[in-house]
Amino acid sequence: METLNQHIEHTLLSPVAVSDDYERLVQEAIQHRFVGVCVPPYWVKKARRDIGVHDIRLVTVVGFPLGYNRTEAKVRETEIALADGAQEIDMVMNLGAFKTGVMSWVKGEIAQLAKMCHESHAMLKVIIETCYLSDEEIVRACKIAQDAGADFVKTSTGFGSGGATEHAVRLMRETVGEYMGVKASGGIRTKGQALAMIAAGADRIGSSAGAALL
C-alpha cells in the first residue's frame, strides 16, 4: 500500500525518552511523510517547533494511560495541550466509571473534551482500551464516544494488558460506521500487522515503529 505512511501516527510515549529522541521522531515523520506524531504533553511545545511548516498532525494524550483522573484534571490537561499547539487529543476513557455503569459521567466527560477540541479546530480520539472490554462493552463504548461527539475511537494505550487486534478494530468499525475514525494502536510493529488493521477498518495506525512499518 503506497499510502501506508498517511495512516501512521509516529508515536513516542516512553517515560524515559529525551529531547533528542523527540527530534528524531519528528525528523522521521517529515522524512516518511507520516500523517502525524504522538508525543506526551510535556513535549508538545517542542514538537510544534520542530514540525514547523510541515504538514504533520501533532497529537498528544490526556488522562494517560489509566483514564481514571477526574474530569476537571482532563479538562485542564486538554486546555494546556491545545494552547501548546496540539491538533489532536487522545483521551483515555474512564474505564472504572464505564464498568460501574455511570454512563452519564463517561459520556459527559467525552462531550466536554470534544467541545473544547472542536472550538480550537482540533480533534478528539477516545481510547477505550479494548483489552479490558468484552465485545458488548466495545460496542457500547464506541456508541457513547460517537454520541458524545468524539471524532475517533482508539483501541489501546499500549500500556494495558494487550494491544490492538483485528477483531476489535473490525467491531469498532462496524459500530461507528464510515463517518467516524478508528485508530489502531498498541503492539503494531510490522507492515503486515499495519495492513491487516487497515483492512479491518482502521484509518490511523499508532506505532512507535513507524519507519519499520514501511
Catalytic residues: 90, 154, 183
Decide: helix, strand or coil at residue 36.
strand
Q: Are 73 and 89 in contact (CB under 8 A)?
A: no
Q: Which helix (H) or strand (E) holds 200?
A: helix 191-200
| Calpha distance 19→85 (Å, rounded) | 17
List Cβ neighbours of 190 (8 Å cut-off, separation of 6 or more).
209, 212, 213
| Calpha distance 81→142 (Å, rounded) | 24
Decide: helix, strand or coil at residue 135.
helix
